[in-house]
Structure 1
């Protein structure tokens, strides 16, 4: 059973409409991702333009040539707009009208009005520019680890290559005053390639949204909603790879002194404000490589790579000072809140670990020693910093 090119391009139209419907359906599930609507419009407008091109000879030439191809270019532009919206940037829809408007104007010139090959070169050039814009936006927005973006970039690269290849072979696509792509069986493969590329691009764009949704849920599961710091699970997930790399490490376990009295005297709302103030105190003057977490009710942990004594102690002292200053600015009715922090500080030089198991064991030893130091700080009167320096053999204990 064989298919003529016109049948294949009709399948392209059907698939494009189905992809548009799938994206609209996906948007109803994730309405906070409006990029899906732009990509749905890309599919719908693209197939409308292709349908107009296929209807040449049935409808007026101005519609099948100028307007239909302008719609195709508009569809390509919406890929770029959707990627901008996906990366939380302004859509700039007006820019997507430039290429379609230029196409309509230039098609009135004899060079393009009377020569199909010239129009193929012009349209392909516009497509290259539009898809290249989408590729650049995809690359610029790649700020988080992603498995889908490389696939999307590869597909856009293939689309750019296809458009570029049409330019030197534009004359071979023309026979008299007709476009052979829609009638010559030798170009059947181009329709099949268009189907494959459209399906892959459509589902890759949907997968981009799904990937970020999963990342958002994963991040939320590893964050303390009150302070915005990592929770115990998030701390462990980030601390183990850091321990595996080895090097100098400083680990603080911090506990707010007499925090229960704050809740009993001022209420839990005031207690929450104290916890948030302490979270802010941790983030002040803290290096970007540090791992900050709330691992319990009023218990916190800070892991600092590359810090040795006494730099680690100075960091602990800054936390105490920043917290005290933050409490002074905290709006509370009646008497001021008195709350201090006790810190157990462990530091050591880790050798690189070959497995996560060894890294987890090293982290466990640091937590154990820092917890013992914290207990001494609490027992010695609170609002203190107790220090323990680990030796290489301590990590093998």
Structure 2
């Protein structure tokens, strides 16, 4: 088999069609991922364009030049839209399809349609722009750590580079008048790069989707569904890891006062709102990176590293005071307060259970002493006495 451009274009047709089918089938198993569906449509569309380009000289030029290239540019626009969908941004479908429309309109201009150099420059510019835009979309979402995000960024940017390099080459070494476009070595390079790009995109985009699903499952398994705080298992694991590093640490255990009465008087919807409100407030006031966990019911906890008992008490007081000022205009008689128990010492290296036990004891003392207050765990020497 001769690997001339026509043969490579037919191979692109088969490869792109199979990849598009794979994306669509994957979407049928994960209907919540719109990106998979859009990428599937993009590749199926691109396969039709590859087939049209391969039939150059067999079908009318208006189909192989005008229509096929317009469809190919639409496919690149859909890849960009799919990446926007993956990142949770608006699709911008009109803009995605604008490249194909611009190409189709320019083909109605005889001077443009008759100049192969002009056609190469415009098609390469539009295709490169869509690939660059898709690469930027992946990069913009880097706050969500996915291993395949960086390969996807590089892959899209590299393919855009193939198109952009083609622009000066078309100007510096324009095709001879009357030359067969399918005999162009650049077309062979782009066809081969297109096949490799299609296969690499399939693996990379699938990997991105899989990594996000796994990440969401990990988050769901470690997060309290109501408040968004870490659940008890995740909090214990994080606290134990922090304690292994040694150094001073302070455990703060919070219990919302009279929470059962709030539920009984105002209903569980208000009670849930109170829990969410406390969690949001505490997360805002705690130092960045501090893990707040919901231990169960109306009880929360956090572990502060490198905090003296005095500093931990000051932190707890900020939260207690702020929570007491929360008010719901529709419920003027609702009063909110929280009791806090603190255990802070250098003596708890790796001993999560001991730290939690002492913080709980301090919390119970705060409850006994009237609630809406903070109590520090008693020093070890006094407890022993």
Shorter-chain TM-score bucket reads 0.7 to 0.9
Q: Which residue of 2 aligns with 1:203?
A: 203
Q: What is aligned with 1:80?
A: 80
Report whether the alignment pairs 1:140 with 2:137.
no
Residue pair 2:73, 2:126 contacting (<8 A) in 1 also:
yes
Asked if structure 1 preserves the Cα contact closer than 8 Å seen for 2:309 and 2:343, the reply is no
Residue 7 of structure 1, CA deviation: 3.2
Please give the alpha-carbon distance, in whole angstroms, between the structure 1 residues aligned to 2:123 and 2:331: 64
1:309-348 equivalences under 5 Å are 309-326=309-326, 331=331, 341-347=338-344
Shift of residue 238 of structure 1? 4.3
The change in CA–CA distance for 1:315 and 1:31 in structure 2 (over 3 A counts) is: same
**What is the Cα-based RMSD across aligned positions, in Å?**
3.7
Structure 1 residue aligned with 2:383 = none
Alpha-carbon distance in 2 for matches of 1:329, 1:179: 73
Q: Distance in 2 between matches of 1:242 and 1:80?
A: 42
Q: Distance in 2 between matches of 1:297 and 1:100?
A: 57
SS in 2 for 1:32: coil
Matched residue, 1:127: 127
**Is the contact between residue 174 and residue 180 of structure 1 (CA under 8 Å) also seen in structure 2?**
no
Per the alignment, residue 370 of structure 1 pairs with 359
Q: Which runs of 5+ in 2 are unaligned?
A: 381-385
Deviation at 1:13, TM superposition (A): 1.0
Q: Which residue of 2 aligns with 1:62?
A: 62
Q: Which residue of 1 aligns with 2:180?
A: 178
Is contact 1:277-1:327 (8 Å) kept? Answer: no
* Aligned counterpart, 1:9: 9
Q: Equivalent residue of 1:18, what SS?
A: helix
Please state whether the residue corresponding to 2:228 is helix, strand or coil.
Answer: coil
Judging changes above 3 Å, is the alpha-carbon distance between structure 1 residues 131 and 244 closer, same or farther for their aligned structure 2 residues? farther
Deviations 1:243-272 (A, max 9, x none): 577776543012345656766888766755
TM-score after normalising by structure 1: 0.79
Q: From the superposition, tell whether residues 243 and 15 of structure 1 become closer, same or farther in structure 2 (CA, over 3 Å).
A: farther
1:40-73 C-alpha deviation (Å, 9 max, x unpaired): 1210121212211112222221221122111111
Distance 2:108 2:117 in 1: 15
Assess if the C-alpha contact under 8 Å between 1:116 and 1:177 holds in 2: no
- The DSSP-based 3-state class of the residue aligned with 2:296 is coil
**Deviation of residue 383 (structure 1)?**
4.1
Unmatched 5+ residue regions in structure 1? Answer: 351-357, 392-397
Distance 2:76 2:245 in 1: 45
CA contact (8 A) 1:289 1:304 kept: no
Deviation of the 1:227 alpha carbon: 2.3
User: What TM-score does the superposition give when structure 2 sets the normalisation length?
Assistant: 0.82
Deviates more, 1:231-240 or 1:6-15: 231-240
8 Å Cα contact 1:70-1:103 kept in structure 2 = yes
Aligned counterparts, 1:268-279, within 5 A = 272=272, 275-279=275-279
Task: Give 1:221 shift.
Answer: 1.2
Change (3 A) 1:308 1:328: farther
Q: Which residue of 1 aligns with 2:299?
A: 299
What CA deviation, in whole Å up to 9, does each residue of 1:330-389 have, x standing for no partner? 859xxx678753322134579xxxxxxx98x26556435433433443455554322259
Give me the whole-angstrom Cα distance separating, in 1, the residues matched to 2:166 and 2:351.
Answer: 59
Contact 2:12 2:195 in 1 (8 A): yes
Q: Which structure 2 residues correspond to residues 227-306 of structure 1 after superposition, within 5 A?
A: 227-239=227-239, 249-257=249-257, 272=272, 275-283=275-283, 285-304=285-304
Cα distance in 1 for partners of 2:92, 2:265 equals: 54
- C-alpha distance in structure 2 between counterparts of 1:45 and 1:164, whole Å: 22
| 1:273 Cα deviation after fit | 5.3
Distance, in Å, in 2 between the alignment partners of 1:22 and 1:368 is 54
Q: Deviation digits for residues 106-141 of structure 1, max 9, x if unmatched?
A: 345565433324422321122221111111111112
Q: Where does residue 387 of structure 1 map in the other structure? A: 376
8 Å Cα contact 1:281-1:326 kept in structure 2 = no
- 1:77-116 maps to which residues of 2 (within 5 A)? 77-109=77-109, 112-116=112-116
Q: Give the distance between the partners of 2:119 and 2:108, measured in 1 at CA.
A: 11
